[in-house]
Structure 1
Amino acid sequence: MTETAPTPLSAFTDLPLSPALLQGIDALDYSRMTPVQAQSLPAILEGRDVIAQAPTGSGKTAAFGLGLLHRLDMDRSETQAIVLCPTRELADQVARQLRKLAVGLANLKVSLLSGGLPLAPQLASLEHAPHVVVGTPGRVQELVRKQALALRAVRTLVLDEADRMLDMGFEEAIRDIVGRTPKTRQTLLFSATFAEPIRAIAEAMLREPVEVSVDAEASAPRVEEVFYEVEPGRKTQLLAALLLEYRPESCVVFCNMRRDADEVAGSLQHYGFSALALHGDMEQRDRDEVLVRFSNRSCRVLVASDVAARGLDVEDLAAVINFELPTDPDVYVHRIGRTARAGKGGLALSLCAPREMARAEQLQGRRAEQGDTRPLQWRKAAPIGGRPSNAPAAAMATLRIDAGRTDKLRPGDILGALTGEAGLKADMIGKIDVFPTRSYVAVARAQADRAVERLRAGKIKGRRFRVSRI
């Protein structure tokens, strides 16, 4: 039995949040709640179970994040909240968002437990129980079975993008994990769809949940959607032509197959574009470097499979291009939801071969079911005929430093070295990412070689480290 959420509030200050959590909201510069936050947070803060339908970019992480942080007892050194995510990229994004929201909570420990990464560091992080665990179901289940992670004190369990976790075959692991948590826990389930498998999971795991559903009209910012019909053999040439025409500062090109991501990225590189591929067959370090380079503006085009792009955290993504239309209209909505976040305008382009017309018609039909009667917007464009001379370059370049958190290196140390011994102005330096054994910094492309030379000749925090441009 579900209960519909009441009329929502609009300001975070209307909620019974502690000053510490309001400090995190201020630090993230949140002003008013998004629809999913406004509809779900009152019930979440009351301790109710919630099942929420909300698309990518709707603000759901802050909704469940504030809820689970609100229920923490910081005097207890036990794991009190678990967030399960379908991919390690999304888990990493959620963990970082939680840390930002919890800036006012002293000594909060959040552990990231994801598959595809070495087990030993994750085991070490559990020697002292974290307050919050964010992870993928398989790895969390593994660590629970090894008795490295105790779930007896869990107060809040979050299933984030539950539909994707079921699609990826995690149902058995999820049921096992949930069965090991206290029956008195609060369970929050977020999904892009309320398909029958989601309903079944909710019925089994949630107690009299409040149901929240944010429709596309309320949650989706303004996205200009344009479709182009093209012969299959000329898709790459048309893709290049559209990148030249629109010249997006940052763009994700979605492919349905992993092998296509490599081929399309390679073709774009041949045409002179700064493009990189991202898919599940890559080693984790390579995936990390691709995501770093795209998010710090060292790469303008990311060619990705759907699963690999889950959890992609890039502010102000200018455009999304469907190299192929997905077979599921809901996946299309997920894809285009990555542009035009926070109410800003965005662009979604789709390349449609003749055999994909049925998918376009299906998409139109799904829109009509949801009350959106707008026709699909079709345009024509000519594929390029050769290698262009005006492919836009990325604004930044990435330097890799072979040292990280284990070397006690901090972003401020890197910034100080670049503005000090290297002689760069602060406005030439972009995003800095510090990992356990490596660090990455974006610098203005024209200054990259000079920065590498100066850093190799000088020191960072009084020590010399290997520095390279990637």
Structure 2
Amino acid sequence: MTFQEFNFNEQLLEGVLSMGYTNATPIQEMAIPVILNGDDLIACAQTGTGKTASYLLPVLNFICNTHKHQTTALVLAPTRELAQQIDQQVEGLAYFTGISSQAVFGGGDGMAYEQQRRGIQNNVNIIIATPGRLIAHLTSGVLKFNDVTHLVLDEADRMLDMGFYDDIMRIVGYLPKKRQTLLFSATMPGRIRTLAKNILNDPKQINIAISQPAAGIDQQIYRVHDQQKTPLLRMLLKDANYASSIIFASRKEIVKSLYKELKHAHIDAAAFHSDLQQGEREEILLRFKNKKLPVIIGTDALSRGIDVEGIDLVVNYDVPGDPEDYVHRIGRTARAATTGTAITFVNDRDLKKLKSIEQLIDKPINEKDLPEELKGIEQVREERPHGGPRHDSKRRPNRYKGNKPRPAAN
């Protein structure tokens, strides 16, 4: 189905076509008519399927046709990065319409807060916000939602994971009861159903390939122990022809450590984590998006906060604890019908996690042979202070193995 077939406002369609949009993705083809018809909607679709445009386009079309000059739509997002990306997409799609938008999020300086406040006071058409910062503006009295006709919750499951349920319900209390509410989520756990029941009115439902990675992803695993992970990562990044790569680790401490390791190996990379200033985070994402930075390292917060096409490689340095997070991570590659590679490092402790992932995606993941030069790297174990084994030590391997006795102490 082409975008001309939706009968969008001419100025909006001009913006859509100028961005290179021609044929609608399945989620767009199914969701846009429902939203244009005015129905509430629950839509479940994996990352990289075009869901942002599937709700933005009908909302923009409504604003175009009603000539609204006040805040008409509110989009809630879990992270500042996603809020900014949605705002940028509004700017591109609505370029010829004169529709205005404002991203509202925390983490910036006083100047950023003041800029957001001015945008709100100027009655921008669309506000894209993280829940916490939005509540700050609501309680200050500067923000009024009397004219809002559309509420969108993007990545609602992630917002609930981050503990935003009470904030969402508080925000909904400021909105007119008569409105169109759209809930988009990559997963559909029971708490999402509860939220939907409380804020939606007789919603239509759409499910698109729930929890299934895109067909264009070449999924691979390497069986490793912890001391083999970083050397393997260096080999993958140096030896293979990957122009754009994302490395996911479980904690920001590992992210920082990997950054130092790759920098020492003369691999151009950047660490993306919460200790960075907002400006630093934005600069990293911009460089990565513009293909000026080949490697970015981050935690799961990055998996839902980045929308970049043309990513060749995703590496799971650590297996995620939740199988759904695996799908989100590898969904950063093979977007928009392209292809990509997703490699996961699996140690003995992660075998149960791997099994859960394979059950979720309903197929085994191809295991690759470890390069010969890495097989000689010995696994190191170190006793924790309280007796538990430690697997991530960097101390030297024990040179005295087998039956050879350790020299007696003097």
TM superposition score normalised by structure 1: 0.76
Corresponding residue for residue 83 of structure 1: 75
> Which amino acid letter does the alignment assign opposite residue 72 of structure 1?
I
**Which among 345, 362, 365 is matched to residue 359 of structure 2?**
365
One-letter amino acid of the counterpart of residue 242, structure 1: L
Return the letter of the residue paired with 1:31.
Answer: T
User: What amino acid sits opposite 1:92 in the alignment?
Assistant: Q
The alignment partner of 1:133 has SS state of strand
For 1:27 and 1:219, locate their aligned partners in 2 and report how far apart those are by CA, in whole Å. Answer: 29
- 2 CA distance for matches of 1:24 and 1:61? 15
1:116-163 deviations in whole A, cap 9, x for unaligned? 123222112222111110110111111111111111100100000000
Q: Which amino acid aligns with 1:105?
A: T
**8 Å Cα contact 2:187-2:211 kept in structure 1:** no
Sort the Cα spacing of 1:348 and 1:279 in 2 relative to 1 into closer, same or farther, 3 A: same
Letter of the 2:366 partner, please give it: Q
Once residues 372 and 293 of structure 2 are traced to their aligned partners in structure 1, the CA distance between those partners, rounded to angstroms, is 23
Q: Any conservation in 2 of the 1:78–1:131 contact (CA below 8 Å)?
A: yes
1:261 paired with 2:255, answer yes
Q: Counterpart of 2:224?
A: 230
Q: 2:369 is matched with which residue: 370, 380, 384?
A: 380
Q: By how many angstroms is 1:311 displaced?
A: 2.5
How much does 1:218 deviate?
8.4
What is the alpha-carbon distance in structure 2 between the residues aligned to residue 220 and residue 361 of structure 1? 19
Please report how far the alpha carbon of residue 183 of structure 1 lies from its aligned counterpart in structure 2 after TM superposition.
1.1
Question: Is this contact kept in 2: 1:224–1:346, CA < 8 A?
Answer: yes
Query: Which of 3, 10, 18 is matched with 2:9 structurally?
Result: 18
Aligned residue type for 2:56 = G
Aligned residue runs from structure 1 range 20-99, under 5 A:
20-72=11-63, 75-99=67-91
Q: Find the residue that maps to 1:52 and give its secondary structure.
A: strand
Matches within 5 A, 1:67-146: 67-72=58-63, 75-106=67-98, 108-118=99-109, 119-146=113-140
CA–CA separation in structure 2 for the residues paired with 1:383 and 1:45: 58
2:281 to 278, 283, 287: 287
1:274 to 261, 265, 268: 268
SS at match of 2:96: coil
Q: What is the alpha-carbon distance in structure 2 between the residues aligned to residue 305 and residue 180 of structure 1?
A: 33
What's the secondary structure of 2:336's corresponding residue?
helix
The verdict on how the C-alpha distance between 1:383 and 1:129 changes in structure 2, with shifts beyond 3 A counting, is farther
**Distance change (3 Å), C-alpha of 1:88 and 1:384:** farther
Map Cα deviations across residues 295-344 of structure 1 (whole Å, 9 max, x no partner). Answer: 22222110111113432132201111100110111111111111011111
> Conserved in 2, the CA contact under 8 Å of 1:238 and 1:383?
no
Give the Cα separation in 2 of the matches to 1:51 and 1:242. 40
**Distance (Å, rounded) in 1 between the aligned partners of 2:157 and 2:338:** 27
Please say if residues 221 and 344 of structure 1, whose CA atoms lie closer than 8 Å, have aligned partners that are also in contact: no
Q: CA deviation at 1:192?
A: 0.6
Alpha carbons 2:213, 2:327 under 8 Å: kept: no
Name the % identity.
36
Query: Is the alpha carbon distance of 1:187 and 1:97 closer, same or farther for their aligned partners in structure 2, counting shifts above 3 Å?
Result: same
Shift of 1:265: 1.3
User: Over residues 20-43 of structure 1, what are the superposed CA-to-partner deviations in whole Å (9 max), with x where a residue is unaligned?
Assistant: 221121011111111111111110
Counterpart pick for 2:345 among 344, 351, 373: 351
Report the RMSD for the aligned CA atoms in angstroms.
Answer: 1.6
Range 308-317 or range 341-350, more displaced: 308-317
| Residue number in structure 2 paired with 1:165 | 159
Q: After the TM superposition, which residues 229-248 of structure 1 pair with which residues of structure 2 at under 5 Å, given as runs?
A: 229-248=223-242
Higher mean C-alpha displacement, 352-361 vs 311-320: 311-320
**What SS does the aligned partner of 1:184 have?**
coil
Q: Secondary structure at the match of 1:71?
A: helix
Cα distance in 1 for residues equivalent to 2:185 and 2:120: 29
Of 295, 300, 306, the match for 1:312: 306
Q: Report SS of the residue matched to 1:92.
A: helix
Structure 2 equivalent of residue 417 of structure 1: none
Structure 1 gaps of 5+ residues are 1-9, 369-373, 386-470
Give the drift of 1:76.
Answer: 3.4
Q: Please report how far the alpha carbon of residue 201 of structure 1 lies from its aligned counterpart in structure 2 after TM superposition.
A: 0.5
Q: Which residue of 2 aligns with 1:399?
A: none
Q: Tell whether the 8 Å contact from 2:186 to 2:211 is kept in structure 1 after alignment.
A: no
Post-superposition CA distance 1:47-74 (Å, at most 9, x none): 1101000111110110110121122166
Please tell me whether the aligned partners of residues 221 and 341 of structure 1 are also in contact (alpha carbons under 8 angstroms): no
How many residues of Structure 1 are paired with residues of Structure 2 in the alignment? Answer: 370
Contact (CA 8 Å) 2:303, 2:328: kept in 1 or not?
no
Q: Secondary structure at the match of 2:301?
A: coil
Q: Which stretch has the larger CA shift, 73-82 or 18-27?
A: 73-82
Q: 1:217 to 1:292 in 2, by over 3 A?
A: closer
SS at match of 1:297: coil
Amino acid at match of 2:91: R
State the TM-score, normalizing by the size of structure 2. Answer: 0.87
Q: Does 1:330 align with 2:324?
A: yes
SS at match of 1:208: coil
1:366 Cα deviation (Å)? Answer: 1.4
* Distance in 1 (alpha carbons) for counterparts of 2:93 and 2:248: 30
- Where structure 2 has 5 or more consecutive residues not aligned to the other structure, the ranges are 375-410
- Equivalent of 1:206 in 200, 205, 208: 200
Which amino acid counterpart does residue 76 of structure 2 have in structure 1?
L
User: Could you tell me how far 1:349 is from its partner in structure 2?
Assistant: 0.6
Equivalent residues of 2:268, 2:294 under 8 A apart: yes
Counterpart secondary structure, 2:142? coil
- The residue type paired with residue 8 of structure 2 is L
